[in-house]
Amino acid sequence: MSEKYSTNKFGVKVLSEGTQSFKIFSAEGINLEFLLIYILFAETSKEDLNEKKKFLKVLYEKNGENSLTEFLESERSDMIFSAKSYEKYFGQMAYTRITDNVLSYFKDILVEVIKAKPQILKSKEKESLDYIFSFNNMEDLIEDITEKNIEKLFYGSITDIKKFFSDKLGIQLFESPILEKNFEQFIKQRNLIVHNRGIISKEFSTEFSNEHITYKPGNILNFSYENLSNINGGMTNIIVDLDLKISEKFKLEQVEI
């Protein structure tokens, strides 16, 4: 499998061709990297900074915001033009985008596989005749059943997704218990950001603290720009391996990345 991809100097696997699902996943990951670069290199020079402060001071003075104009006259106001000041907020937003990109790939690749092999959806569940005859052709029926099954699957847990891949596709999502545990943490960190403003819960602390790192309940998850790039690369490596296995097993169409 190793000859089917190259590895760049950052240790990220690169495919020259893969599935359509991977192409979409890869484009999203690359766009995030470009955004990280933009933020890191978009720091304002001292000259530009002073000009922007003058503009804001005039704007706030017109609106009678005296406290803000006083703040802009101090050196403390430099912080509002620093990318570092927003690392916590942007880091959490970008992290959720990375996790959603991974989960979206799982959905997309399942659609590709089911289109290639609809028998995968065989089950003992029954559909009404009214439902079946509401479609004009078999393709539309299969597409709708596919969408229903995938939506139902992704309302569940990562355990459900892993089981579906194993039982229906004969594909192991994770090659080791450590990788599975890391991925579980990857998803649960996203859930903390979305549902708890990134504040670490007692349950998360108990489950994922170890001899290398301690998660203290009440602390906030932080992701540096560099850390985000590493996470994005690590997830790409997992998806590259998965895409190669799935596309080879089900003979999926390959597109140029």
Q: What is the pLDDT of residues 134-174, one digit of tens each?
A: 878 877 777 777 777 777 776 667 788 888 889 889 999 88
Residues 189 and 127 grouped into a single domain: yes
List alpha helices for 117-134, DSSP H: 129-132
**Residue 49 lies inside a defined structural domain of this protein:** yes
pLDDT at residue 218 greater than cutoff 90:
yes
Domain membership of residue 74 as a residue range: 44-81
User: Mean per-residue pLDDT for 176-183?
Assistant: 89
Residues 68 and 172 grouped into a single domain: no
**Residue 6 lies inside a defined structural domain of this protein:** no
* Position with higher pLDDT, 169 vs 70: 169
pLDDT band at 37 (very low <50, low <70, confident <90, very high): confident
82: CB partners within 8 A, 6+ apart: 43
CA–CA separation, 173 and 159 (whole Å): 10
Q: Is 13 helix (H, G, I), strand (E, B) or coil?
A: strand
Residues 240 and 161 grouped into a single domain: yes
**What's the pLDDT at 124?**
62
Token output for 14: 């690169």
**Residue 9 lies inside a defined structural domain of this protein:** no
CB 231 within 8 A of CB 4: no
pLDDT at residue 3 greater than cutoff 90:
no
**Residue 171 lies inside a defined structural domain of this protein:** yes
**Residue 10 lies inside a defined structural domain of this protein:** no
* Position with higher pLDDT, 120 vs 218: 218
CA dihedral 57, 61, 64, 69 (to 10 degrees): 30
Token output for 3: 């000859």
Residues 194 and 237 grouped into a single domain: yes
Least confident piece of the model among 92-101, 154-163, 186-195: 154-163
User: Mean per-residue pLDDT for 95-124?
Assistant: 88
**What's the pLDDT at 17?**
93
DSSP code at position 199:
B
Full 3-state SS string of 24-39: HHHHHHHHHHHHHHHH
Q: Is 220 helix (H, G, I), strand (E, B) or coil?
A: strand
What letter represents residue 99's amino acid?
Answer: T
Residues 154 and 184 grouped into a single domain: yes
Return the H-helix or E-strand segment holding 178: helix 177-196
**What's the pLDDT at 208?**
95
Which residue's structure tokens are 């790939």?
Answer: 105
**What's the pLDDT at 97?**
95
Token output for 73: 């006259």
CB 247 within 8 A of CB 230: no
CA–CA separation, 186 and 172 (whole Å): 18
Q: Mean pLDDT, the chain, as a whole number? A: 85
DSSP code at position 223:
-
Number of domains the chain contains? 2
